[in-house]
Chain A
Amino acid sequence: MVGATTWIGWQVAGSYSRRLRDLRALQSALAVLQTEIEFCAAPLPDALTAAGQAVGGVIGELLARTAGNLIAGGGITPGEALIDAVGEFSGTTSLKQSDWEILLALAPVLGASDRGDQVRHLRLAAQRLEAAEAQASEERQRYEKLARYAGVLTGFALVLILF
């Protein structure tokens, strides 16, 4: 029993650092995307693939899937391709809904305007992700250890109560 609650505690604690890792990956990916758009004027599927390859992990897969959705066609816009991919991957990360909303705010404008406008939107998203990262970092410092101790202590407490 103590093992089980400890494990749960570690999982909860781990989610704080995973969120931080994914937020950083997302920022790096958007930076690559911005470079691809601003300096190479690369078509969006290529730009998304490049950004995905640069960061790897779940975020990399998500961007690769967005590019894949776009290439598959069917009359969908880049924004819809992104929304579909986020719907598919959002359950597999530790990112919060508020984090996804930063990315999804790009959906209506992704690929739909000139370079200057795309860069503006990507910068704005990057700033918001930075703020989310700062918040995530603070939460991690505050709650990571707490979650681990809470896991172990809850286990002992339950043992004491039950036996």
Chain B
Amino acid sequence: MVPQRFAEEVLSLIAPRLAGLLAAAVRELTAPLEEIRLRQGRPVHLVTAAGDGFLTPAGRLTGDAARAEVAYGEDLTRSFQLIARGSVYAWEDEVRTGYLTLPGGHRVGLAGRVVTEAGRVRTFRSVAGLNIRIAREVRGAAAGLLPRLVAGGRAQSTLIVSPPQAGKTTVLRDLVRLLSTGVPALGLRGQKVGLVDERSEVAGCREGVPQLDVGPRTDVLDGCPKAEGLLLLIRSMSPDVVALDEIGRREDALAVLEGLHAGVAVIATAHGFGPEDIRRRPALAELLATGAFRRVAVLGRSRGPGTVEKVFDLTDAAGGGWVADQDARSGVGGGRDHLDRVAGGG
């Protein structure tokens, strides 16, 4: 069985010729599907949590590219039109940034021939590559992490550091849900959470309404630039916690500082493999040096996406040093430290 949501949100937007084969292949997968990659004139490439492979004309997965089904120009053009809902012109800003977000929070990256204007991307003349990244809602993905981010019944400002594809967004979404719902066992009451979802990936909004569960006390600013959104939420929605995905620019760092001065806890994610990467990024390094974040959680894939590799408690750190908290390496919450596998990735 292909999950209904996966069929509606993803398969219905791929050229029917390939969608049928993909539906068959997804049924056979043993690990959740992470990406569907279409490249013109080349084999259809699938990436799962367990590895990758190519789609065969029989709807199976193979490691042999020579035996795989090829995506033709017509497949790419049709899929792109379906993804843009027949209205490519309505997505100009998104196309310019190189990706579109689908209802459900799935993200489609674009590659192909670009048209530039004054040195900046204006549009794509032809789309020759599509990467459909499947958003996965994994309830409990952050259940192991949360206890270590709470002190005295309050969520501590946290930076989640993670390489690409390690479940950063999934963990952030579940963290938001848990904070918003409240966890009585931790003495944590439900918090008003403000979520700035610049790329519509965390809440998967459709017309501003979250399609994924982000909790009952969460307000979402969908498609809003992070720095501006954070300040806007603090002014207008009186949040206890503000959550942001993928910070890194200087204005983001300044906005986070503003937020902390306003008395809200900030939960943010950033790209990186560990503390060293963060220290090398000027805006983030400065932000950490100010003591803005109380915790830094490092995610990885050592035991599947969403594995919490380390949690640093910066409140104990003297002189900017990083101290991993006690049970950091011992696995979290009784083996709940890696994401559950979800059939079909939908």
If A73-B12, A75-B12, A75-B15 touch, whether A112 touches B81 (CB-CB below 8 Å) is yes
- Which of A9-17, A37-45, A84-92, A134-142 touches B? A37-45
Most buried by B among A47, A77, A81: A77
A122 CA / B334 CA spacing, docked (Å): 62
Majority secondary structure of chain B interface residues (helix, strand, loop or mixed):
helix
Q: Is B90 an interface residue (CB 8 A)?
A: yes
Instruction: Give B112 Cβ to nearest chain A Cβ, in Å.
Output: 13
Interface size of B by CB at 8 A reads 19
CA distance A111 to B84 in the complex (A): 9
Which B residues touch A42, using CB under 8 A?
87, 90
The residue of chain A having its C-beta at the shortest distance from the C-beta of B78 within the complex is A77
Task: Flag whether A97 is at the interface (Cβ < 8 A).
Answer: no
Tell me whether B86 and A45 are in contact (CB under 8 A).
yes
Give A5-32 as 1s and 0s: 1 = Cβ < 8 Å from B's Cβ atoms.
Answer: 0000000000000000000000000000
B89: chain A residues within 8 A (beta carbon): 37, 41, 111, 113-115, 117-118
Report A105-130 CB contacts with B as 1/0, cut-off 8 Å: 00000111111011000000000000
Q: What residues of chain B lie closer than 8 Å to A74, measured between beta carbons?
A: 16
Give 5 nearest A-B pairs by CB, closest first: A75-B16, A78-B86, A111-B86, A115-B89, A44-B87
Which B residues contact A (CB, under 8 angstroms)? 12, 15-16, 19, 77-78, 81-82, 84-90, 92, 95, 122-123
Beyond contacts A45-B85, A111-B86: 20 other A-B pairs, Cβ-Cβ < 8 A, are A37-B89, A41-B87, A41-B92, A42-B87, A44-B90, A70-B86, A73-B12, A74-B16, A77-B81, A77-B82, A81-B86, A110-B86, A111-B84, A112-B81, A113-B89, A114-B89, A114-B92, A114-B95, A115-B92, A118-B89
